[in-house]
């Protein structure tokens, strides 16, 4: 794709885009209108979760997710159009996640979008899921570049300098597991249920975090990378070391794990804030720190990040939870931005399990998670 600035005619013309998303365990469709001045209007936003299907397994099962996506996508696209009181004929383009993610799931939205594009004669835009998250704050406010993004979810833990549209620099990533996977594993070990993040947060509400001494990862490692594998192991060992653990034990260990995850995220993000501030010394303060992804819904994590942001002269921005987690509005937004620049894709564009947002960093300094959700990390 050519990332040159959009021509004036494209900048001035409103664009209406249907977006489809199916990279993990949410099937989603949305319609947005991108106004000529860059303002975004969300006309519809439909999400179908799969929690009940995956709960018995304590995590996302790729085969189950792919089947559910394939069954749902056509109907969700129809529902999103009807909710917006529009038809395919009113669309300027059709956008879909084409990676990274669980490949069977990614294929569901992408194949649906290809069929709709072919049948309607509308352009297809293949969207990087990570770019959708990077642009998500613009669903709420007309945020000016640049900003620092912490993407933190069950499949991703990355720090990205969003310097302009199409210009993304990775400052840090997880060396092993994502933060959301640490929450999921903590919940699974203690039998708290799925999804793990909300379950741990509920249990931690009555817990004493200082009772268990959990490790602080990467204490001696420079840079902005993360690691959660050792923390997951420490939680399991602490739980296994308890004799007939009760509800208070669950609450205390949940609180300790939540506190350790939040502290690690805040510490490494604070390092990235220093790097970002040095790279943009003339930008107005406070600088924007955007946190997106399912883990951004955790109040303890947000509080730790807000404290770190204020200390470094940043302003914490977290979109509403519905646009922090996987959603199609952000995919439609990214699609509209590409479309405004005349960037579209052929119908043979592939689905991709891995698709780094910063290709140079991925090539020169690869960091690939080894956890259960590694293909999306």
- The Cβ of residue 124 has, within 10 Å, a number of other Cβ atoms equal to 22
Residue ranges and CATH numbers for the domains of the chain are 8-140+323-355 (3.30.420.40), 147-318 (3.30.420.40)
Nearest to 160 by CA among 187, 124, 191, 136: 136
- The Cβ of residue 27 has, within 10 Å, a number of other Cβ atoms equal to 28
The pTM score is: 0.89
Nearest to 265 by CA among 287, 245, 289: 289
Is the omega angle on the peptide bond into residue 195 within 30 degrees of 0, that is, cis? yes
Q: pLDDT per residue over 33-79, tens digit each? A: 999 888 999 999 999 988 888 888 877 888 898 998 999 999 999 99
Distance CA 273, CA 252 (A): 31
DSSP notation for 92-152 = SEEEEEEESS-HHHHHHHHHHHHHHHHHHTPPEEEEEHHHHHHHGGGGTS-PPSPEEEEEE
Q: pLDDT per residue over 147-195, tens digit each? A: 999 999 888 899 999 999 999 999 999 999 999 999 999 999 999 998 8
Distance CA 103, CA 186 (A): 26
Distance CA 153, CA 291 (A): 10
Beta bridge partners of 161: 148, 169
Predicted confidence pLDDT, tens digits, the chain (377 residues): 444 444 444 457 899 999 999 998 889 999 999 998 889 999 999 999 888 888 888 778 888 989 989 999 999 999 999 999 999 999 999 999 999 999 999 999 999 999 999 999 999 999 999 999 999 999 998 899 999 999 998 888 999 999 999 999 999 999 999 999 999 999 999 999 988 999 999 999 999 999 999 999 999 999 999 999 999 999 999 999 999 999 999 999 999 999 999 999 999 999 999 999 999 999 999 999 999 988 999 999 999 999 999 999 999 999 898 998 899 999 999 999 999 999 999 999 999 999 988 876 655 555 554 444 444 43
Contact present, 69 and 76 (Cβ < 8 Å): no
Please list the alpha-helical segments (H only) found in the chain: 8-12, 51-54, 62-83, 103-120, 129-135, 179-190, 196-204, 229-240, 247-279, 299-312, 321-324, 329-340, 359-364
What is residue 32's three-state secondary structure? strand
Beta bridge partners of 96: 20, 126
Beta bridge partners of 314: 287
Nearest to 128 by CA among 97, 93, 158, 162: 97
């Amino acid at each position: 794709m050519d990332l040159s600035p959009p021509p004036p005619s494209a900048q001035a013309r409103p664009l209406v885009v249907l977006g489809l998303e199916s990279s993990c365990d949410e099937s989603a469709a949305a319609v947005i209108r991108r106004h000529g001045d860059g303002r975004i209007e969300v006309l519809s936003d439909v999400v179908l979760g799969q929690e009940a299907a995956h709960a018995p397994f304590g995590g996302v099962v790729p085969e189950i997710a792919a089947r559910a996506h394939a069954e749902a996508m056509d109907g969700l696209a129809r529902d999103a159009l009807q909710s917006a009181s529009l038809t395919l004929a009113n669309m300027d383009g059709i956008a879909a996640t084409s990676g990274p993610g669980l490949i069977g799931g990614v294929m569901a939205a992408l194949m649906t979008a290809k069929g709709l594009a072919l049948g309607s004669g509308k352009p297809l835009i293949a969207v990087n899921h990570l770019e959708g998250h990077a642009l998500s704050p613009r669903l709420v406010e007309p945020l000016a570049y640049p900003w620092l993004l912490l993407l933190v979810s069950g499949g991703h833990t990355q720090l990205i300098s969003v310097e302009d549209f199409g210009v993304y620099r990775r400052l840090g990533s997880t060396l092993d597991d994502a933060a959301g996977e640490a929450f999921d594993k903590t919940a699974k070990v203690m039998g708290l249920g799925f999804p793990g993040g909300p379950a741990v947060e509920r249990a931690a509400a009555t817990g004493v975090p200082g009772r268990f001494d959990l490790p602080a990862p990467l204490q001696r490692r420079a840079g902005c990378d993360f690691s959660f594998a050792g923390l997951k192991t420490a939680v399991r060992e602490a739980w296994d070391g308890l004799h007939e653990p009760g509800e208070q034990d669950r609450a205390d260990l949940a609180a300790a794990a939540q506190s350790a995850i939040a502290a690690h995220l805040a510490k490494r993000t604070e390092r990235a804030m220093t790097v970002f501030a040095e790279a943009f010394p003339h930008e107005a303060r406070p600088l924007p720190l955007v946190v997106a992804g399912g883990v951004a819904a955790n109040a303890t994590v947000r509080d730790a990040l807000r404290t770190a942001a204020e200390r470094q002269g940043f302003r914490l921005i977290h979109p509403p939870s519905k646009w922090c987690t996987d959603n199609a509005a952000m995919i439609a937004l990214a699609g509209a931005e590409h479309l405004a620049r005349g960037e579209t894709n052929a119908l043979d564009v592939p689905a991709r399990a891995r698709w780094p947002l910063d290709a140079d960093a991925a090539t020169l300094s690869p960091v690939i998670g080894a956890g259960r959700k590694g293909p999306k990390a």
